[in-house]
């Protein structure tokens, strides 16, 4: 049996020395409304995993009273944004008129389709009290026949998300199908997105019925395919390989993936199978043709590059 090996922390990415694992990704820091996030996808060696074309970990961050996130209105096309929190709250506003606070364990799923605008800010209540914020934001690319659907927003309470409990181990199917559970979240292509809590010594297999799969560790560490993956590691798996994770300590992670999309082009907050459609979206934002967010008249200008 191959001995376990820690992954080289100095590299931004590493072809992992283990059967069934194609890549380990380390994050790049990005600013999001006044605090840093860790970005994993898209990556030079891995543009997407199944339909997941973007993956950010926000926090953990401690905000003192008077401080918070302040992401001004900005547009999206051709994707669904998914927000899932472990700590804290964020207030979502969009051009459909939706105002929704999201709390830990809940799911905000916004289908941009042909075009939507939204902002993400700390509410007045949380600004007054301060808060700890920790969560994930991902983009799920829409299949070509759904890229121009009417925009929609859905909020799902924590009680809506199906769970599988095995002793102290907990698996929550945020979206899609996995472990015999189906999430009520509306999706447009086969995928899975699972929040897992693994107590020390427990094990779980990553769903094998999807072509493209990955995991991301928020905290803790697992043994997998002859190596040790640690907090803030993302591992991407080869198709067709059985993958078992064994928790070396109490571990919080997500598993995700699905059937691959056709090629996607990404510019700023726009995702499309057509470069021409991206150019149209850029022009529409410059010319103020996107719908406004009621009650929030700020905006983020189109970046120069």
Encode pLDDT of 292-304 as tens digits: 999 998 989 999 8
Task: Give CA–CA dist 200/172, Å, rounded.
Answer: 18
Question: How much is the mean pLDDT over the chain?
Answer: 92
pLDDT given at position 163 = 97
Residues 236/237/239/244 CA torsion (nearest 10 deg) = -150
* Residue whose structure tokens are 């150019």: 279
R_g of the chain computed on alpha carbons? 19
Helix (H, G, I), strand (E, B) or coil at 144: helix
Encode pLDDT of 226-239 as tens digits: 889 999 999 999 99
Encode pLDDT of 42-97 as tens digits: 999 999 999 999 999 998 999 999 999 999 999 999 999 999 999 999 999 999 99
Encode pLDDT of 148-205 as tens digits: 999 999 999 999 999 999 899 999 999 999 999 999 999 999 999 999 999 999 999 9
The model carries a pTM of 0.93
- The strand pair at 5-6 and 227-230 is best described as parallel
Query: 11 pLDDT band (50/70/90 cuts)?
Result: very low
Residues 159/162/167/169 CA torsion (nearest 10 deg) = -100
């Amino acid at each position: 049996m191959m001995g376990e090996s820690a992954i080289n922390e100095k590299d931004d990415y590493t072809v992992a020395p283990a059967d069934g694992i194609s890549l380990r990704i380390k994050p790049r820091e990005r600013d999001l409304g006044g605090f840093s996030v860790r970005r994993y996808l898209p990556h030079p060696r891995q543009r997407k995993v199944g339909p997941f074309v973007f993956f950010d970990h926000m926090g953990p961050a401690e905000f003192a009273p008077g401080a918070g996130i302040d992401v001004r209105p900005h547009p999206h096309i051709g994707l669904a944004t998914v927000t899932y929190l472990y700590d804290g709250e964020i207030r979502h506003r969009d051009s459909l008129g939706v105002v929704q606070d999201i709390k830990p364990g809940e799911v905000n799923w916004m289908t941009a389709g042909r075009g939507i605008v939204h902002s993400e800010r700390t509410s007045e209540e949380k600004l007054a009290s301060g808060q700890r914020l920790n969560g994930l934001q991902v983009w799920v690319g829409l299949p070509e026949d759904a890229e121009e659907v009417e925009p929609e927003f859905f909020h799902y309470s924590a009680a809506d998300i199906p769970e599988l409990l095995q002793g102290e181990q907990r698996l929550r199917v945020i979206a899609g199908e996995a472990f015999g559970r189906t999430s009520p979240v509306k999706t447009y292509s086969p995928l899975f997105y699972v929040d897992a809590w693994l107590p020390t010594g427990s094990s779980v297999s990553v769903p094998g019925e999807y072509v493209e799969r990955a995991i991301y560790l928020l905290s803790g560490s697992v043994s997998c395919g002859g190596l040790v993956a640690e907090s803030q590691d993302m591992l991407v798996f080869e198709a067709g390989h059985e993958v078992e994770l064994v928790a070396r300590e109490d571990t919080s992670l997500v598993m995700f993936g699905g059937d691959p999309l056709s090629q996607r082009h990404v510019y700023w907050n726009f995702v499309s199978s057509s470069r021409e459609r991206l150019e149209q979206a850029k022009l529409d934002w410059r010319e103020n043709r996107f719908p406004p967010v009621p009650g929030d008249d700020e905006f983020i200008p189109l970046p120069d590059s």
